[in-house]
Structure 1
Amino acid sequence: MTIVLLIIWLLVVSIQLIFILFVYSRTAFYRVPEHTTLGVQSNARTGSTSGITIVVCARNELENLTELLPLLNAQNYPHFEVLVMDDRSTDGTHLLLENDITQLQHVRFIRIDKEHEHVTPKKYALTIALKKATYPIVLLTDADCRPASDDWLSGMVAPLINDQKAISLGFSPYEHRPGLLNFLIRSETLFTAVQYLSLALAGRPYMGVGRNLAYRTSLFFANRGFYTHMNVVGGDDDLFINEVATGKNTAISIHPDTFMWSKPKETWADWRLQKKRHLNVGKYYKSGNKFRLGLLTGSHVLTWAFALVIGIVVLVHEWYQQPFTANEWLLLLSGAGVFLFRMLTFWGITGRISYRLAHTVHWAIIPFMDVLLAIYYGLAGIATIFRRRKKRLYWR
């Protein structure tokens, strides 16, 4: 039995090493193209830069829109508009958009007055936005986000304009706050970014985050938009990208100027609701994506679970003075060595990625993040299996 446990442990740790060394390392050592903003500015001088529509879907976001819209209006780009989709707001958002944005030359809005049964509210708002967009490329964000710089727009769309890609995946870090919840949010956000950015660079893109995502409207309409998942709450970003992204049409944008900072949830209840929406859409991913993510996450959880079990086995052997056989010793030492190597490579490579992605998690506590995520993914997996259908979820 001990030999079987050790062999399985070696196998799952080896799977982890493959992902770390051959997938995650792509983001860790990715060279940001020099044309991230310079190429766009060069195209602007020659008059060949495409116009961009920034889309913000908002419901009761008066305070956030008051702060965000001037920042978007001030983006350093020659031809763009900011299209705000006011989805049935009752907090004064409509009055703000009607009366107080006249001095913001790039901002306009569309009011949505009712909900439609055949489609979730946010997907309906986004669909209308893309139909009414003035320009052929849309850049999506949320009302509670803030761009890292005035070059956010030009940097995010640079791959679409200079390299003729159809999708640009960006990164959206959360603000640093004290407490375990904020640390967990930042850890999960970092590791999710490690996965979707690295797999995109490996030619297997599977998702993006709607807080910082650009694509061509032609791609949206050529694939019938959200038609296959109109009634699924969530998925306006990751399910759509999961359907249409390929290794050839997708690029990533991780220059610090292209980050879109977001406000984190401040209560465990709000965060759990957000996670339920995210986990709810995972079952609709393509089979290949589900297999890779299951292998990646499962091996992460089992790496630490088997380490704990084998540690207990060693203690039991010592307590009852039961010596290991030669084969057991060989496997035990091999497993411990590979496990230690996996810990160090995860620490180094994920730490480097974190450094590149706005120092989301301090490098010194990456090992703690490693263990915390294994616990979190294990519990989330159990909750997903046993969760029963409850009340309807809403995007806001």
Structure 2
Amino acid sequence: MADYLLLALGTFVLIQLFYYFFFFTRLAFYENNTNYDCSTPGVTVLVCAWNERENLEELLPLLDAQEYNNFEVILLDDRSDDGSEEFIRAHINDWKHIRYIRINDQFEHVTPKKYALTVGMKQAKYPIALMTDADCRPFSNHWITAMTSRLSDERDIVLGFSPYLKQSGFLNWFIRCETFYTAVQYLSFTLAGMTYMGVGRNILYKRSVFFANKGFYTHRHVFGGDDDIFLNEVSTSSNTAISVESESFVYSTPKTTWKTWFKQKQRHLSVSKHYKPRNKVLLGLLSGAHVAVWTIGIFVLIFGIWQKDMPLLAVLGGTFTVRWLIQWFLLSRINNKLDKTVEGFSFLLMDFALFMYYIIFGFLAMIKRKPRTTWN
């Protein structure tokens, strides 16, 4: 029995190592050469908001202060009733680049955020659209410049990174870990020519891409997916670039309770069923191998202790040690590029925490309970 357990463990470890070496090394050794050029075509920054007055008071001055030659910011206020409209109208003349569009309508055939973004795309003055959310904050005044610097004649889409702010507590630590590991995946896959998602908090693409693919039409009724489902449809092996320099980062405030984070993750994960089959297989195999390695490893540990099989325990320890060393080396390099989002000493704990995360949300996915969403 021990031989079969080790064979199974070795198989799933090799699957993980394939992802580490074929995908993750691309990001670990990626050089984001800076080539700022403020003569890049004009950019329209789109911000959708629903009852976000406090966030808008902080965000809009930061966006207006961006150092870029030719840009505008369109705030798409979707039926807010928290005083957002009054605040904007009272201060609109204080900002040079801010445009305000109030959306009063809601339609059954399209989700509110996708409708708002579509309105923004149609009203935009410039050919490049850069998206973020009201609760986000650009790291620097060169955010627009850093993102547009990755565009080219062949690259129509640029994926940025949006880490969560560091706060105290286990929930915040895990949110940062999960966000980091998700970024490792979608940025690495993009470098391998297999883009499957981006994050709406920091994503840029040419408006021509949006209209050429009929916008969000095929998934207009799905809550979420204005970033990942859309990218899953329109990205190719050669039209998407990434930006991993710090000035292109956009920070976001994380959820502070397990309940609100849990609802957010349910919504995010619920859209993955709309991915292309290839993407679902690759991502499922990656998370499945992660779960299998830990599950078999725990079983081998218990079996080895019960049988007092020291050679078996030695092989188990050696296998996990080699795996962790490779993981630590690659993830540490990537972590340094992504503003040290995760404390380096906690990678081992993160590895186990992600195992539990996959178990819990995998079980919930089988239940197929539809997440409740009030706005997206």
TM-score over 0.5 (shorter chain): yes
Q: SS state of the match for residue 116, structure 1?
A: coil
1:130 aligns with 2:151: no
Counterpart in the other structure of 1:66? 57
Percent identity of paired positions between Structure 1 and Structure 2: 48
Equivalence map 1:81-92=2 (5 Å): 81-92=72-83
Equivalence map 1:188-203=2 (5 Å): 188-203=178-193
- In the TM superposition, what is the alpha-carbon distance from 1:114 to its structure 2 partner? 2.0
Counterpart in the other structure of 1:97? 88
1:148 aligns with 2:139: yes
1:108 aligns with 2:99: yes
- In the TM superposition, what is the alpha-carbon distance from 1:239 to its structure 2 partner? 0.4
- In the TM superposition, what is the alpha-carbon distance from 1:22 to its structure 2 partner? 2.0
Q: Give the structure with higher Rg (CA).
A: 1
Alignment root-mean-square deviation, CA: 1.5
Q: SS state of the match for residue 283, structure 1?
A: helix
Counterpart in the other structure of 2:331? 350
CA contact (8 A) 2:300 2:316 kept: no
- In the TM superposition, what is the alpha-carbon distance from 1:393 to its structure 2 partner? 1.7
Cα distance in 2 for partners of 1:260, 1:389 equals 30
Counterpart in the other structure of 2:7? 7
The answer for unaligned runs of 5 or more in structure 2 is: none
CA deviation vs aligned residue, 1:331-367 (integer Å, no higher than 9, x gap): 8765543332111111111122112101100111111
Decide which of 41, 47, 56 is 1:50's aligned counterpart: 41
Cα distance in 1 for partners of 2:270, 2:118 equals 21
Cα distance in 2 for partners of 1:224, 1:50 equals 22
Q: SS state of the match for residue 101, structure 1?
A: helix
Equivalence map 1:137-176=2 (5 Å): 137-160=128-151, 162=152, 164-176=154-166
1:252 aligns with 2:242: yes
Q: SS state of the match for residue 94, structure 2?
A: coil
- Counterpart of 2:55 in structure 1: which amino acid? N
Equivalence map 1:1-396=2 (5 Å): 1-35=1-35, 37=36, 40-41=37-38, 44=39, 49-160=40-151, 162=152, 164-318=154-308, 336-389=317-370, 392-395=372-375
- In the TM superposition, what is the alpha-carbon distance from 1:145 to its structure 2 partner? 0.4
Cα distance in 2 for partners of 1:286, 1:394 equals 27
Q: SS state of the match for residue 224, structure 1?
A: coil
Cα distance in 2 for partners of 1:388, 1:107 equals 40
> How many equivalent pairs are there?
376
CA deviation vs aligned residue, 1:137-177 (integer Å, no higher than 9, x gap): 100000000000000100011122x4541100000010001
CA deviation vs aligned residue, 1:25-63 (integer Å, no higher than 9, x gap): 11111001231x2xx13xx2xxxx200000000001111
- Counterpart of 1:81 in structure 2: which amino acid? E
Q: SS state of the match for residue 32, structure 1?
A: coil
CA contact (8 A) 2:202 2:250 kept: yes
Cα distance in 1 for partners of 2:375, 2:233 equals 21
Cα distance in 2 for partners of 1:384, 1:222 equals 33
CA contact (8 A) 1:10 1:335 kept: no
- In the TM superposition, what is the alpha-carbon distance from 1:394 to its structure 2 partner? 2.7
- Counterpart of 2:29 in structure 1: which amino acid? F
CA contact (8 A) 1:14 1:338 kept: no
